[in-house]
Every structure is written in structure tokens, then in C-alpha cells.
Amino acid sequence: MKTLAIGIDIGGTRTKIGLVNLSSGQVEGILITPTETKDGDQFLKTIGEAISQFKRKAATEQAFLAGVGIGVPGFVFADGTVDSTYGFLEFMDDYPLATHIQQQHDLPCRLDNDARVVALGEAIYGHGRGRSGVPVSRVLVLTLGTGLGVGFTIDGKLDGQLPFAHMGGHMTITTNDFVCYCGKTGCLESLVSGAGVGRIATRLGWSKKYPEVPLTAESIFAQKHSGNPDAEAIVDEYLGYLKTGIDNYINLYAPDVIVLGGGIAKGLSKNERDQLQTPGLLRPFKAYKTTVLISELHEQAGILGSAALFKE
Ligand SMILES: [Zn+2]
């Protein structure tokens, strides 16, 4: 019998709900709704409609539906209570999300931090599968999006017990730079997220010189790729921070592969990707080798990883 699970990826503006075949990693259906950030009842109602629809689809196919997995942008306790989302989802402080879903849909529900589930998705269905069918043991996944997500897996399993095992983005890179929303100064996340590109650009006077160009990572990288030297200076500084972060993570995690996901990673040129490769680190171990790869799961990584919370 086919085993399916529902994976839910709560994003900044959109929530993606997918029905995943757990053995093949195929996403058999996706529903996308605007993310409700203020009203808990409305949030449950919106995602509840999608869950019900996929529940009916699984029943029609006579498949086994293992449960609902959710990647939450914040802290999660092992009992399925959300501790905090940094105020992003206003109603979700000390919020028993898993219990609500279980009661409403009569299905098991498992939660984890969103960056961690993306790493799980990559480990099981992405680059972690390995090229020649030999799974990669140690996989570090960095998601460069609205923030910086950090997740690490060993042999296809998440490393570390919940909670509080996912603050890797707040590694200090400089001691006199931007103040991060976590309260510290010079966090990697505040420099290499989408907003980080904007901050570097603002400091270098970009908006005064190019008021017509939107202050987004996408447009600044595009300007660099078309030869703008001011954009090149911004991107060079950005890549320097990212490379420093990657080098530090290598010394901490000794990953076999590092997977970069998210919109910024997808847009990196071949040359920029090469700048991030770090052969010869973790000295003096001559046999150590790591490779930096770009995710090929794209927008489905969060859905796959959330569903994979049910992969036994
Ligand atoms: Zn921080």
C-alpha cells in the first residue's frame, strides 16, 4: 500500500501544503494559501481545508496517510507546542498547534523548525541521496531567503533534540556591524539573508546612486551579472561573509556536502558558486573533503521535509 504524508511549509507570505509519496519523494499535489499571521482560528480553517482535501484524495487512492508534518518558522517543543515565532505568527506563542490539527483531522501531527525540516527534505530526497545511490552521511543545509536557515543531518536524521538546536544562523561574523533581530551584533543571518544584501547596499550608498533599482537581493545580483561595478562590490562583500560562515560551519560540523537553498542560492552564477567552494579546510586532515552544492528541490524542500517527519 502506498504511504503518503501531508507536508506544510509556513512561509512569510504563502503557506504551501503538499501531499507527498514518502517512498518516492514525489509531491502528488500542492495547495498554496496566503499565510494568516494574526488570527489562529482563521489559520486553522485555511490549512484545514487543504488537509481535508488531501485526506479525501488519499482515501480515494486507498493509500495510507501517515499524518501531517509542519515546518514552523520559530521554536517548537517536542510535544508539538510552538514556543515562539519571533512574533511572526502573532497568535502562535505557547500554541498547541499539533494538538489542534490532531483533534480537527484525526491524524497524527508532527512539528519541527522550518530550517530543520528543509534539511531533512534535502537529506532524504535531495543531494543527501548521493550521486551513485550511496547516501551522504553528513549534510549541512543553509537556506538563504528572508532569513538564514541552518539544518544538519547525519545519515538522513536530524541532529540534536528539540528545542533550541537551530540557532546556527546567529553565529557572530563581525563585532561592529548590523544589530540582528535576536539582539546580537554582526550575526551571519543579518548579513547573508535577503535583507542583508539590502543592508550592505544601503551602507555602500546604492539607493542614492540607483534610486530606480529595487533594493532587493534579486535585482542587485542581476545588476552585478550585467556588469555594474557598484553591484559587484555589494555582492563581493556578501559572498565574503557567506564564505566566512561556511568555513566556520565546516570546522563545527565537518559536513560531507553543504547544500545552499533559497532564492539567492538559486541565482548564484557559476563563478560565484566556485568562490564558495572551500577545498583544504579542516586542516590538517588531508582526506577531508566537502562540496558546496545548490539545492535542486527548489520550492518543494519545505513540503518534502515536513512530510518526511513521518518517514520511519
Ligand atoms: Zn542574530
Eight-state DSSP code of residue 74: S
Q: Which residue ranges of the chain lie beneath pLDDT 50?
A: none
What is d(CA 252, CA 244) in angstroms, rounded to the nearest whole number? 13
Q: Cα(184) to centroid of ligand 1, in Å?
A: 5
Ramachandran angles phi, psi of 69, nearest 5°: -105, 140
Torsion, CA 217, CA 221, CA 115, CA 126, rounded to 10: 150
Write down the H helix ranges in 135-292: 188-192, 194-203, 206-209, 217-225, 229-253, 263-266, 270-275
Bridge partner residues of 109 (DSSP): 68
Q: Cα(167) to centroid of ligand 1, in Å?
A: 8
Q: Cα(4) to centroid of ligand 1, in Å?
A: 37
pLDDT for the residue 110: 96
Q: What is the set of domains in the chain, with CATH numbers?
A: 3-121+300-310 (3.30.420.40), 131-296 (3.30.420.40)
Count of other CB atoms within 10 angstroms of residue 234: 24
- 306 CB-contact burial (10 Å; exposed 0-12 / middle 13-18 / buried 19+): buried
Q: Cα(195) to centroid of ligand 1, in Å?
A: 13
The answer to pTM > 0.85 is yes
pLDDT for the residue 164: 52
Torsion, CA 302, CA 34, CA 28, CA 122, rounded to 10: -10
What is d(CA 112, CA 10) in angstroms, rounded to the nearest whole number? 11
pLDDT for the residue 137: 92
Q: Cα(171) to centroid of ligand 1, in Å?
A: 7
DSSP string for residues in 211-252: TTS--SHHHHHHHHHTT-HHHHHHHHHHHHHHHHHHHHHHHH
Q: Cα(214) to centroid of ligand 1, in Å?
A: 25
Q: Cα(174) to centroid of ligand 1, in Å?
A: 11
Q: Cα(83) to centroid of ligand 1, in Å?
A: 18
What is d(CA 135, CA 155) in angstroms, rounded to the nearest whole number? 7
Q: Cα(283) to centroid of ligand 1, in Å?
A: 28
Instruction: Find where cell 555594474 sits.
Output: 228
Cα distance between the two ends of the chain: 15
Q: Cα(267) to centroid of ligand 1, in Å?
A: 24
- 84 CB-contact burial (10 Å; exposed 0-12 / middle 13-18 / buried 19+): middle
What is each CA distance from 155 to 101, 142, 251, in whole angstroms? Answer: 29, 17, 19
CB proximity list for 141: less than 8 A, separation 6 or greater? 115, 118, 119, 122, 123, 149, 150, 151, 152, 153, 258, 259, 260, 261, 295
> Which of 43, 45, 14 shows the shortest CA–CA distance to 31?
14
Confirm if 15 and 32 have CB atoms less than 8 A apart. Answer: yes
Q: Cα(72) to centroid of ligand 1, in Å?
A: 18
Over residues 163-216, the pLDDT tens digits come to: 555 678 999 999 888 899 888 999 999 999 999 999 999 999 999 999 999 999
Q: Is the dihedral of CA 194, 196, 200, 203 positive or negative?
A: positive
Q: Cα(220) to centroid of ligand 1, in Å?
A: 23
Over residues 112-138, the pLDDT tens digits come to: 999 999 999 999 999 999 877 788 999
pLDDT for the residue 166: 65
Q: Cα(258) to centroid of ligand 1, in Å?
A: 21
Share of the chain above pLDDT 90, in %: 76
Q: Cα(98) to centroid of ligand 1, in Å?
A: 27
Instruction: Give the amino acid at 3.
Output: T
Q: Cα(180) to centroid of ligand 1, in Å?
A: 4
Q: Cα(183) to centroid of ligand 1, in Å?
A: 6
pLDDT for the residue 288: 84
Q: Which residues of 249-273 are buried (b: 16+ CB within 10 A; e: fewer)?
A: bbeebebbbbbbbbbbbeebeeebe
Q: Cα(104) to centroid of ligand 1, in Å?
A: 36
